[in-house]
Amino acid sequence: MLRGIGKLDRERLAAILRGTKGTVLVAQAATILGVNPTDAAKMLSRWHKKGWLSRVKRGIYVPVPLEASSANVSLDDPWQIAASLYSPCYIGGWSAAEHWDLTEQLFRTTIVMTQLTPRERNPVIKGTTFLLCSINEKKLFGLKTVWRGQVKVSVSDPTRTILDMLDEPRLGGGIRSVGDMLENYLRSEMKNLDLLIGYADQLGNGAVFKRLGFLLEQHAPNEHATIDQCTQRLTKGNARIDPKQPAERLVSRWRLWVPEIWLKGAV
């Protein structure tokens, strides 16, 4: 069971929890309590040992729910932790697709697009795995702000979510999964192909238009205007429909290498 905590510590911890949102950083605690960072770090460490805080990583803690039997708790909301650890960032890929109901698949890893250059790309924090992808400031567009508890978190909007997965199919679990999510997007009220083309122009990766044009012909051949726009934007050179998959056949119309079986009506 959680060990007791004195009156002064209770008051201090309560003040910190009121003044923070989701996570507690040493610098935040020092400011709230009006103490130096060293003293704040010692307090947080003591409360962690007593079971009132759970340490996410050095200098970063989350509150332990009153009903918890120990401080070894899982993350209540990985998005909040991502916003604290990897800002400026946004939630993208399949994590955003789940949020917008573009997929019914359940992914255990949370995808974070961040301006940071982390040494570890797949950190596991309190049993939750993150996939960290570095992105430059110019590519921080097409985002929405959502509330997760008391924390504001940026997430790619539905159109940007599709774009990111066309740009890097691994972010959608592979191109077959991306194709399914694209179909769901096309059937939804979130569909905005003019915006998708605009976003793709802004991103500047020619492979996106090759993949999008090919997939539209497979899944939505009546989208003639958008297919034509993709054709007009074809860049030189050949791309792969999915860099992580074998591709034996070149579709010259789209300058795209695809798996043999895709050309036999099994897309």
Query: With helix as H, strand as E and coil as C, how does 154-184 read?
Result: EEECHHHHHHHHHHCHHHHCCHHHHHHHHHH
Q: What is the pLDDT of residue 254?
A: 96
Q: What is the pLDDT of residue 2?
A: 42
Q: What is the pLDDT of residue 126?
A: 79
Report the chain's mean pLDDT, rounded to a whole number. Answer: 89
- The CATH number of 7-63 is 1.10.10.10
Q: What is the pLDDT of residue 62?
A: 81
Q: How far apart are CA 220 and CA 196, in angstroms?
A: 15
Instruction: Kindly report the backbone phi and psi dihedral angles of residue 144, in degrees, each rounded to the nearest multiple of 5, phi listed first.
Output: -120, 150
The four Cα atoms 209, 214, 220, 225 give a dihedral, to 10 degrees, of 50
CB 240 within 8 A of CB 256: yes
Q: How far apart are CA 186 and CA 37, in angstroms?
A: 52
Q: What is the mean pLDDT of residues 84-108?
A: 94
Q: What is the pLDDT of residue 164?
A: 98
Q: How far apart are CA 190 and CA 208, in angstroms?
A: 19
pLDDT tens-place string over residues 142-176: 999 998 877 889 999 999 999 999 999 999 999 99
Query: Is residue 60 helix, strand or coil?
Result: strand
Instruction: Kindly report the backbone phi and psi dihedral angles of residue 163, in degrees, each rounded to the nearest multiple of 5, phi listed first.
Output: -60, -45
Q: What is the mean pLDDT of residues 115-121?
A: 91
Q: What is the pLDDT of residue 66?
A: 55
Domain ranges of the chain: 7-63, 78-264
Q: How many helices (H) and strands (E) does the chain have?
A: 10, 12
> What's the pTM value of the predicted model, to 2 decimals?
0.82
Q: How confident is the model at residue 6 (pLDDT cuts 50, 70, 90)?
A: confident
